[in-house]
Amino acid sequence: MRRWNGWGDDSISDPVPATGAATLARLVGEGTPPPPAALADVVAAIPPGRLPAHPSVVIDAETRLRHGRGQSLPDWLALRTGRPGAVPDGVAFPADGAEVRDLLAYAEVAGARVIPYGGGTSVVGGVTPGDDGAPWLTISLARLAGMRRLDADGLLATFGAGTVGPDVEAVLRARGLTLGHFPQSFEYSTVGGWVATRSSGQQSVGFGRIEALFAGGTLEAPAGTLEMPPHPASAAGPDLRQLVLGSEGRLGIVTEAVLRVAPLPAVEIFPTFFLPDWERALAFTRALARARLPITMIRTSTPAETYTNLALAGHETVLRALRRYLAARGAGPGRCMVLLGLAGPRRLVLVTLAAIAGIAHDFGAVRAPGRLGRQWQAGRFRTPYLRNALWDAGYAVDTLETAVPWSSVDLLARELAPALRAGLAADGERVHAFTHLSHVYPTGSSLYTTFLFRLADDPDVTLARWRRLKALASEAIVRRGGTISHQHGVGTDHAPYLPAEKGILGMEVLADVARRFDPAGRMHPGVLLGDAS
Cβ proximity to ligand FAD, 23 vs 199, nearer residue: 199
Minimum CB distance to ligand FAD, residue 334 (Å) = 27
Measured in whole angstroms, how far is the alpha carbon of residue 335 from the centre of its chain?
27
Q: How far apart are CA 484 and CA 474, in angstroms?
A: 7
Spatial contact of 178 and 261, defined as CB atoms under 8 Å apart: yes
Of positions 63, 71, 178, 408, contacts ligand FAD by CB under 6 A: 71
Q: Does 226 bind ligand FAD (CB under 6 A)?
A: no
Of 80 and 280, the one with the shorter C-beta distance to ligand FAD is 80
Judge contact between 203 and 296, C-beta under 8 A.
Answer: yes
Write 8-12 long-range contacts (CB < 8 A, 24+). 8/187, 8/188, 8/384, 8/385, 8/388, 12/382, 12/385
- Pick the binder of ligand FAD from 87, 127, 416, 498 (CB under 6 A): 127
Q: In this chain, which of 94, 265, 384, 444 binds ligand FAD, going by CB under 6 A?
A: 384
Query: CB of 403: closest distance to ligand FAD in angstroms?
Result: 12
Closest to ligand FAD by CB, 124 vs 372, is: 124
Work out which of 93, 194, 270, 453 binds ligand FAD, going by CB under 6 A: 194
Question: Which CB atom, from 180 or from 276, has the smaller least distance to ligand FAD?
Answer: 180
CA gap 162, 188 in Å, rounded:
10
Q: Is 490 in the site for ligand FAD (CB under 6 A)?
A: no
Tell me which of 141, 340, 386, 424 binds ligand FAD, using CB under 6 A.
141
Interface stretch with ligand FAD, choices 21-29, 128-136, 359-367, 487-495 (CB under 6 A): 487-495
Residues binding ligand FAD: number (CB under 6 A) = 38
Residues numbered 158-177 forming contacts with ligand FAD, rule: CB under 6 A:
161
How many CB atoms lie under 10 A from the CB of residue 25?
Answer: 15
Residues in region 81-110 near ligand FAD by CB under 6 A = none
What is the nearest approach in angstroms of ligand FAD to the Cβ of residue 68? 12
Three-state secondary-structure class, residue 440:
strand
Q: Using DSSP, how many helices (H) and how many strands (E) does the chain show? A: 19, 19
Is the distance from CB of 474 to CB of 497 less than 8 angstroms?
yes
Tell which one of 75, 99, 248, 493 touches ligand FAD (CB under 6 A). 248
Determine contact, residues 297/209, Cβ cutoff 8 Å.
no
Q: 70 vs 208, which CB is nearer to ligand FAD?
A: 70
Closer CB to ligand FAD, residue 71 or residue 178? 71
Helix (H) / strand (E) containing 116: strand 113-117
Q: What is the DSSP string of 366-401?
A: EEPPTTHHHHHHHHTTTGGGHHHHHHHTTEEEEEEE
How far apart are alpha carbons 289 and 170 in whole angstroms? 30
Considering the rule CB under 6 A, would residue 19 count as an interface residue with ligand FAD?
Answer: no
**Pick 19 or 184: Cβ nearer ligand FAD:** 184
136 binds ligand FAD (CB under 6 A): no
Q: CB-wise, 194 or 497, nearer to ligand FAD?
A: 194
Strands 366-367 and 90-92: unpaired
Least distance (Å) between residue 65 CB and ligand FAD: 15
Selected from 20, 94, 119, 165, the binder of ligand FAD by CB under 6 A is: 119
Residue (401 or 415) nearer to ligand FAD, CB: 401
Burial (0-12, 13-18, 19+ Cβ within 10 Å), 59: middle
Determine the Cα–Cα distance for residues 370 and 384; give it in Å rounded to an integer: 24
Binding ligand FAD (rule: CB under 6 A), the pick from 121, 450, 462, 474 is 121
Angle at 229 between CA 233 and CA 237, to 5 degrees: 55
Beta-strand pair 156-160/177-178: unpaired
- Specify whether the CB–CB gap between 215 and 262 falls below 8 A: no
Is 118 an interacting residue with respect to ligand FAD (CB under 6 A)? yes
Rule CB under 6 A: say whether 183 interacts with ligand FAD: yes
The nearest distance, CB 142 to ligand FAD, in angstroms, is 10
Q: Does residue 420 sit in helix, strand or coil? A: helix
Q: Which residues bind ligand FAD (CB under 6 A)?
A: 7, 70-71, 115-123, 126-127, 141, 161, 183-185, 189-190, 192-194, 196-197, 199-200, 248-249, 253-254, 384, 487-489, 524, 527
